[in-house]
Copies of this chain bind each other. A is one copy, B any other.
Amino acid sequence: MALTEESSNKIFGGYQKIFSHDSEEVGCKMRFGVYLPPQVEENKKLPVIYWLSGLTCSEANFVEKSGAQRYAAEYGIIIVNPDTSPRGLNIPGDSENWDFGVGAGFYVNATKEPWKKNYRMFSYITSELPKLINNNFPAAEGLQSIMGHSMGGHGALISALKNPGMYKSVSAFAPICNPSVCPWGIKSFTGYLGSEEASSWSEWDATQLVKKYNGPTLELLIDQGLEDNFLKSGQLLPENLIESCTSSKVPAILKKREGYNHSYYYIASFIGEHIKYHAEHLLSKKL
């Protein structure tokens, strides 16, 4: 599991790096970003936040546009952000749609042909990647949180809900909260998993998973811009998730942001608040 450093740029006293490696889970070369804050020089083990990006993104968007490094440097936290799907495999049909296949792995483990061999992003982000990070960087094992945007918000929520205790905290910007009943989710679940009757979509749907969550108290921090066109077109459905949390007594916070849309301009505005939230959980203190 050798890592190749693709780039390294000093930013806010630390280093934003991009690595590539041959992934066993998804069977191709994968790239991810890692921000190492200045505190790595103190030879301490540091907490890690994983960021999962949305449809069409690679590892570059978050690294270039979120402004997260400033806050990671402030709190002394490593941030890791993987790509959103396998790439370069040329599976028939993997590049015909912007919302399915390449750039749209949906953070599930596919069970249907021709996807099931490679489209295993869930295992990649919750198992292979954390091992790689813990083995190669000064990561404090067990001190990790997860967040994401849109499809990546869905990914963060299911990662936390399906792995009780694995993440100290979870947050999501404009997540796809109930993929089983929204167009993006129906398309990808049908493609990767098969029809709802023949498979178990509920195993990959945060709104469903909340109902059977059984583990350490986990609060869901949901952030949503109110001028988000995908909210208006029914792709995100945060109200379904909140209702499910309420009836299942899973704590949840929904932050509504007047005037903000679905873009990285919105993410940049509130990423500091989210990183602070995770830092408080990871460092077990009020900041």
Contacts and interface: CB of A to CB of B under 8 A. Distances in A.
Interface residues of A, number: 22
A261 B11 CA distance: 9
B64 A64 contact: yes
B265 A9 contact: yes
Nearest to A65: B64
A213 B179 CA distance: 64
A263 B15 CA distance: 13
A115 B87 CA distance: 44
Interface string A1-41: 00000000111110010000000000000000000000000
Given A70-B67, A265-B16, A268-B67, A227 B10 contact: yes
Contact of A266 (B11, B227, B269): B11
A11 B259 CA distance: 9
B65 A9 contact: no
Classify the interface of chain A: helix, strand, loop or mixed: mixed
A230 interface: no
Interface string A130-151: 0000000000000000000000
Contacts of A11: 265-266, 268-269
Contacts of A227: 10
Contact of A268 (B69, B225, B261, B265): B69
A20 to B, nearest CB: 19
A201 interface: no
Contacts of A10: 225, 227, 259-261, 265-266, 269
Nearest to A264: B64
Q: Which of A10, A64, A65, A260 neighbours the largest number of chain B CB atoms within 10 Å of its CB?
A: A10
- Interchain residue pairs A-B with the least CB separation, the first 5: A9-B265, A11-B265, A10-B259, A67-B67, A10-B260
30 contacts: A9-B261, A9-B263, A9-B265, A9-B266, A10-B225, A10-B227, A10-B259, A10-B260, A10-B261, A10-B265, A10-B266, A10-B269, A11-B265, A11-B266, A11-B268, A11-B269, A12-B268, A12-B269, A13-B269, A16-B265, A64-B64, A64-B65, A64-B264, A65-B65, A67-B67, A67-B70, A67-B268, A69-B265, A69-B268, A70-B268
